[in-house]
Amino acid sequence: MNKLHAAITGVGAYVPGYILTNEEISKMVDTTDEWIMTRIGIKERRILNTPDSGTSDLGSKAVEDLLRKTNTKPEEIDLLICTTVTPDMQFPATANIISDKVGIKNAFSFDLNAGCSGFLFGLATASKYVESGQYKKVVLVGADKMSSIVDYTDRSVCPIFGDGAGAVLLEPTMENVGIIDTILRTDGFGRIHLHQKAGGSVKPASHQTVDAREHFIYQEGQPVFKYAVKGMADISEEILTKNGLDHNSLDWLVPHQANLRIINATAERMKLDKEKVMINIEKYGNTTDGTLPLLLWEWEKKLKKGDNLILSTFGAGFTWGAIYLKWAYNS
């Protein structure tokens, strides 16, 4: 008997209009366009600079785009999951705020935080609800206003991140398309290299934490880079071979966009041609939970039903993983 699969049946996205260029960053900190392009591969990133706007504003615009494109009414949605590391507030969940803003009334919603692997872990989670047969229309939205936790006086971090959001609709299908296989990993030890020092229950906000700039991203670039290259390449290769795929039968690699050198190392390990690797880091930087859906959104028209895709990520936690899916529709 055929198994019920969860298939992506639409993609929506939103990036804010303001473009922060390397030239502008070079005026804030001691850096150059040449250094950023060579070491990271980013030319510009989008910034949400509208006052009193947050992650839910990015996420709700992406969900509105998704609902419009898929001709879906908000009332039809059964579940909305938002993956983010920059929630509007500690509570309630940004997912609830997005649902409220777009008029999703007949659903439950919650947030999921898995660092830069959030969207991938969210896709694995959302697909299980769909495969259970109980939920017919599930929205997964990855959204981050990274500019709210980036220290624009720290040259080792500020060129990397940008703001953005993307959303997918997941629906059940009996066809052999959709999410086929999932490998997810975490290693909490990695938190020492990448975290936000204050603002949580261990160190609530105080004058001291603000003065010490502890509400921004703390990242030790080199160890994170080392673990990211190994983690993403290993797991991408693992899911490839586990599913009997190779560089010929795989159509697309959809890698997290943290550093072009990490993406290239992963593609090389998989012996993949450049043409099969989705890359938009140059335009958007690392949007954390936005990277994977923004890639799918940009490449949507090129994707064909039955295409083999591997999505892979590495991020804070540490968290890493890969998903093998067969694309479910032609645009």
Q: CB under 6 A: which stretch of 42-50, 71-79, 153-161, 236-244 binds ligand UT7?
A: 153-161
Q: Which helix (H) or strand (E) holds 228?
A: helix 221-242
Q: Annotate each residue in 226-255 with x if it binds ligand UT7 (CB under 6 A) or - if it does not, as one string.
A: --x---------------------------
Q: The tokens of 321 are what?
A: 């993983």
What φ, ψ does residue 149 adopt, rounded to 5°? -125, 15
What is the number of the residue whose Cβ is closest to ligand UT7? 221
The catalytic residue among 116, 158, 193, 259 is: 116
- Is 116 a known active-site residue? yes
271 vs 212: CA distance, rounded Å: 45
- Is 256 a known active-site residue? yes
Residue 259 vs 312, nearer CB to ligand UT7? 259
Shortest CB 213 distance to ligand UT7, Å: 16
137 vs 7: CA distance, rounded Å: 10
CA distances from 217 to 106, 109, 161, 163, 244 (A): 36, 27, 10, 14, 39
Interacting residues with ligand UT7 between 280 and 319 (CB under 6 A) = 286, 315-316
Q: Annotate each residue in 18-57 with x if it binds ligand UT7 (CB under 6 A) or - if it does not, as one string.
A: -------------x---xx--xx-----------------
330: exposed, middle or buried (Cβ count in 10 Å: 0-12, 13-18, 19+): exposed
Residue 12 vs 190, nearer CB to ligand UT7? 190
Residue 256 vs 326, nearer CB to ligand UT7? 256
Cα torsion for 71, 88, 262, 223, to the nearest 10°? Answer: -160
257 vs 260: CA distance, rounded Å: 7
- Number of CB atoms found within 10 A of residue 17's CB: 9
- Is 195 a known active-site residue? no
Interacting residues with ligand UT7 between 93 and 122 (CB under 6 A) = 116
Q: DSSP class of residue 181?
A: E
Considering the rule CB under 6 A, would residue 224 count as an interface residue with ligand UT7?
yes
Q: The tokens of 169 are what?
A: 């609709």
Shortest CB 149 distance to ligand UT7, Å: 12
99 vs 103: CA distance, rounded Å: 6
Q: Annotate each residue in 254-273 with x if it binds ligand UT7 (CB under 6 A) or - if it does not, as one string.
A: ----xx--x-----------
Shortest CB 230 distance to ligand UT7, Å: 12
Q: Which residues are known catalytic residues?
A: 116, 256, 286
Residue ranges binding ligand UT7 (CB under 6 A): 31, 35-36, 39-40, 116, 155-156, 159, 221-222, 224-225, 228, 258-259, 262, 286, 315-316
